[in-house]
Structure 1
């Protein structure tokens, strides 16, 4: 996907996808960062990570069938468990077609999110969701390729949380980015997108749901 439409869609996606948790656990949009995020007509690229079972995963696993790629961390108080719960529901609603799509949950906190930690965490969600981790350098590479914002935020008690982008990346069976799913986007918006993605149909032009553009709920 190239041209003005793709650039506009990516810029809009960046504007709705950035969220942060402050030291009281309050999630806030990061509008200044959205403005600073460059529009890119191509997202994705090569990576080498390992899943929760220690199996090596590369960009080649995105080929052959479509994928959803989501970035987060297992100590995330709201955005990640909410999105993973939604993904679990989407897979159930898709029925047999749920086996025709990959879902990857990529950590932005590799220090704590080892394969063992990811495996324990993901038992609460659909077993088809694969958690991916790696070294700091490997995570830096994939987040750069996907234009993902993330930042470690120290807390007063000596612990830390991670600010991170909240959107889900839709990738087609050729490993190409085709569009975003916004945080907390309603199922009646998401399910047609997923069915089109599985069928290999291009995403329809649409305006982001205003409910996903600004999120200030507690996390």
Structure 2
């Protein structure tokens, strides 16, 4: 085989190997995150959740004691999110409706991963929009506070793009926290209201 052809063939092999390596990293990273959450469910010990200090949509400072006394569905997102965040919030309300009276002890907590734009007022305006569930607690804070909160919940997020048109990539897991503020289970964003309600009922029955 001519030398030029050999070099071209070798280059193509290297490019394919690099692409496969990239795909492997993404798959492994996603699997590791899922396993970390599942570990908390199987062992009964919280692998996610912990101390945090943020600000709600009323501008009031809050911490992890916000979760005490109620079951909580904690979800990370941002107000400029074009699809997953509004869809998830709507699905969580449908889940809450299917729970009937049990929903009286369940609150939805929306944590912004975009503190640059999501001020308390921005969260308040967003969550009061028609079609969103009533009573959702919106939380934001300084970039450092948001990063610390995402870390203890093992929630991923990153800024993509520059200027005013930037967006945020983020994980889609919903965390079910018990009245003691400890992690109980994870809900996949595509589980659906009916199956989510069934899961929540089972977890609530265990206490």
Report the TM-score when normalising by structure 1.
0.72
* 8 A contact 2:52–2:64 mirrored in 1: yes
Taking the aligned partners of 1:59 and 1:129, their CA distance within structure 2 comes to: 16
Structure 1 position 201, deviation (Å): 1.6
Larger radius of gyration: 2
Q: Which of 22, 28, 53 is matched with 2:58 structurally?
A: 53
* 8 A contact 1:151–1:164 mirrored in 2: yes
Taking the aligned partners of 1:158 and 1:133, their CA distance within structure 2 comes to: 19
Name which of structure 1's ranges 36-45 and 125-134 shifts more when overlaid on structure 2.
Answer: 36-45
**Residue 184, structure 1, aligned to residue 190, structure 2:** yes
Structure 1 position 98, deviation (Å): 2.0
* 8 A contact 1:172–1:200 mirrored in 2: no
Provide the residue aligned with 2:154 in structure 1.
Answer: 147
Structure 1 position 65, deviation (Å): 1.8
Taking the aligned partners of 2:94 and 2:31, their CA distance within structure 1 comes to: 32
**Residue 201, structure 1, aligned to residue 206, structure 2:** yes
Structure 1 position 176, deviation (Å): 1.3
Per the alignment, in what secondary structure is the counterpart of residue 110 of structure 2?
Answer: strand
Structure 1 position 195, deviation (Å): 2.3
Per the alignment, in what secondary structure is the counterpart of residue 192 of structure 1?
Answer: helix
* 8 A contact 2:94–2:193 mirrored in 1: no
Structure 1 position 200, deviation (Å): 4.4
Taking the aligned partners of 2:93 and 2:69, their CA distance within structure 1 comes to: 22
Q: CA RMSD in A?
A: 2.0
**Residue 110, structure 1, aligned to residue 106, structure 2:** no
Provide the residue aligned with 2:29 in structure 1.
Answer: 33
Per the alignment, in what secondary structure is the counterpart of residue 131 of structure 1?
Answer: strand
Taking the aligned partners of 2:121 and 2:27, their CA distance within structure 1 comes to: 35
Taking the aligned partners of 1:160 and 1:107, their CA distance within structure 2 comes to: 15
Taking the aligned partners of 2:31 and 2:194, their CA distance within structure 1 comes to: 29
Q: Which of 142, 145, 167 is matched with 1:138 structurally?
A: 145
Unaligned runs of 5+ in 1: 1-29, 203-219
Size of the aligned set, in residue pairs, is 171
Q: Which of 173, 176, 179 is matched with 1:170 structurally?
A: 176
Taking the aligned partners of 1:108 and 1:190, their CA distance within structure 2 comes to: 24
Provide the residue aligned with 2:88 in structure 1.
Answer: 83
Report the TM-score when normalising by structure 2.
0.75
Provide the residue aligned with 2:11 in structure 1.
Answer: none
